[in-house]
Amino acid sequence: MLRFGIGARIALITLVALVAAQVLMLAAYMMERRRADAASATFLPLMGQIAAVVRLVDQIDPAQRDLALQATTSAGFLPRYLKTPPAIHTPLLLQTVERRLRALIGADDGWLIAVTIIGSDRNGGQPVRRLGELSGARLQAVVALRSGGYLEILAGGDLTVRLLGLPVGLLAGVLGFLVALAALLAVHREMRPLTALVAAVNRFGAALEVQPVPERGAPDVRAVIRAVNVMQARIADLVRTRTLVLGAISHDLRTYLTRLRLRLELLPADPHVAKANADLDGMQALVDDALAYARATFSGASDEVVDLSVLARAELEARQTQQAKVRGAEVQGAKVQGADGAAEPRLAPVRLTGADTPHLVRGAPGALARVVANLVGNALAYGGCADISLFTGRDTVELRVEDRGPGIPPAARELVFEPFQRLEPSRNRDSGGAGLGLTIVRQIVAGHGGQVIIADRPGGGAQVRVLLPALALGEGPA
């Protein structure tokens, strides 16, 4: 079976549309030629033509009258001389036409001039009273001659063209527009597979889960869709394999790290032992961050209803418990590790507002809890405090975390989302994490159909806003 490519299909659709438009225009023109004069006269020329014939007949020798009338006769214009006037009355809608004709002839109000519209011969030539009788109707004008007698003119053709001044091309233009609209719909139908492909690729980029696209359309479009489907499967398998490898490595590294920690605990207290324990803590946090980054790749939104207020309150309680342990330890200058492994200032304040009411989204509770923990940990590590706020709009739920640190320069606001990128270039765990916290946040949020925005906090500091699709009305828990 012969199949055209998308380029050939669009070209063929355009060609057929142009040919159809030309055929319809030609048909309209031929129909008008049969039903009206070739000149397609409008209202003013028709009245002027009638007035000119009346003046001509009034001025010439009566012996030349028939010859003059014969010379002015055409397919859509038939004048004839009458000795007695026919029964004719100007309807209300044509009184303006009558006044125009009277002004052109120069006759006063008492002079007999009447204009009406009569039906076709099928209707017996009677005056038109219904819209259905306008098909094939003619204009009838009767004018009294100064030389005696009466002149009757029958103007045939399409009266909407001759009286209302609508050109023949208008009909062709309307038909052309309809043909172009049909062509546009046909092109849209051919482009629908590509539109579906674009949507599937966007979903795949956010969730890294295979989004199969039905193979439809032209052969080359089908080939592209088939290639994209295969590519999705390969990329998903590659990333899934990477995650499994990282998970296995992380498990084995945890085993070795646990052994090293046990051996260090058996050693006597020594500054070198303390430093070794600190290095082990850093290695453990780095392994955890790397594994969380790999898992975040597949942390797309699920069907669970999640209340961000609950997650925020849980994070606040965890931080307060952590701070209570620091107070109880009473270790001067002690520091506590954050959720992403970053060191946080001792007794740094964490505040929460807007959590008194539910803020519902659809997603994975564990992944969204990781988002809250990472943002709070970053704020504490770099800004000395963390102010958490929750807002629900018509379409989005916003999680906002602010600090009073140096902020993030506009030029670096995209860079901080890259893996292992930090504004502070050292790998010192005391000055921040491994540079995966915000990367994990963006991956999880993108998988839930949201976005992360970094801005300046009014009065100084950084402001990180997470916007997630709000739960539609009626989707909440029963």
Given a contact cutoff of 8 angstroms between Cβ atoms, the answer to whether 461 and 405 are in contact is yes
What distance in Å separates the CA atoms of residue 440 and residue 442, rounded to the nearest whole number? 6
Q: Which residues contact 345 (CB under 8 A, 6 or more apart)?
A: 335, 380, 381, 384
Question: 431-443 burial by CB neighbour count: b if 16+ within 10 A, else e?
Answer: ebbbbbbbbbbbb
150, 166, 182: which is the final residue of a domain? 166
pTM above threshold 0.85: no
Is 157 a domain residue?
A: yes
328 occurs within a structural domain = yes
Mean per-residue pLDDT for 110-125? Answer: 81
Q: Is residue 12 part of a domain?
A: no
Least trusted range by pLDDT, from 16-25, 35-44, 248-257, 355-364: 35-44
Does residue 74 carry a pLDDT above 70? yes
Q: 149, 166, 183: which is the final residue of a domain? A: 166
Residue 264 exposure: Cα atoms within 13 Å on the Cβ side: 18
Q: pLDDT category, 345, cuts 50, 70, 90?
A: very low
Lowest mean pLDDT among 44-53, 132-141, 264-273, 420-429: 420-429
Report pLDDT digits (tens) over 141-160. Answer: 899 998 888 999 888 755 54
- For residue 46, give every residue at least 6 positions away whose Cβ sits within 8 Å of its Cβ, in sequence order, or none: 139, 155, 162, 163
Q: Is residue 330 part of a domain?
A: yes
- Average pLDDT over every residue of 208-219: 82
What percentage of the chain carries pLDDT values higher than 70?
74
CATH code of 360's domain = 3.30.565.10
Q: Rounded to an integer, what is the distance from CA 235 to the centroid of its chain?
A: 29
Overall domain count for the chain: 2
Q: Are 138 and 88 in contact (CB under 8 A)?
A: no
Helix, strand, coil percentages (3-state) for the chain, rounded to 5, are: 55, 15, 30
Domain boundary among 141, 166, 191: 166
Is 387 within 8 Å of 319 (Cβ atoms)?
A: no
Average pLDDT over residues 236-241: 80
A 10 A CB-CB count for 44 gives 11
Classify 75 in phi/psi space as left (phi over 0), alpha (psi -120 to 50) or beta.
Answer: alpha
Mean pLDDT for the chain overall: 78
Q: Please tell me the predicted confidence (pLDDT) of residue 164.
A: 46
- 303 shares a domain with 159: no
Where does the pLDDT of residue 4 fall: very low under 50, low under 70, confident under 90, or very high at 90 and above? low
Q: What is the 3-state secondary structure (H, E, C) of 18-65?
A: HHHHHHHHHHHHHHHHHHCCCCCCCHHHHHHHHHHHHHHHHHCCHHHH
Report pLDDT digits (tens) over 252-307: 887 888 888 888 888 888 888 888 888 888 787 777 776 766 666 555 556 789 99
List the one residue out of 280, 286, 233 whose CA is nearest residue 256: 280
Residue 447 lies in a domain: yes
Contact status, residue 412 vs residue 423, Cβ threshold 8 Å: yes
* In a domain? residue 171: no
Look at residue 38 in the predicted model and tell me its pLDDT.
Answer: 38
Segment 62-73 shows an average pLDDT of: 87
Is residue 2 in some structural domain?
Answer: no
* pLDDT the model gives residue 298: 56
Residue 229 falls inside a structural domain: no
Structural domain containing residue 110: 41-166
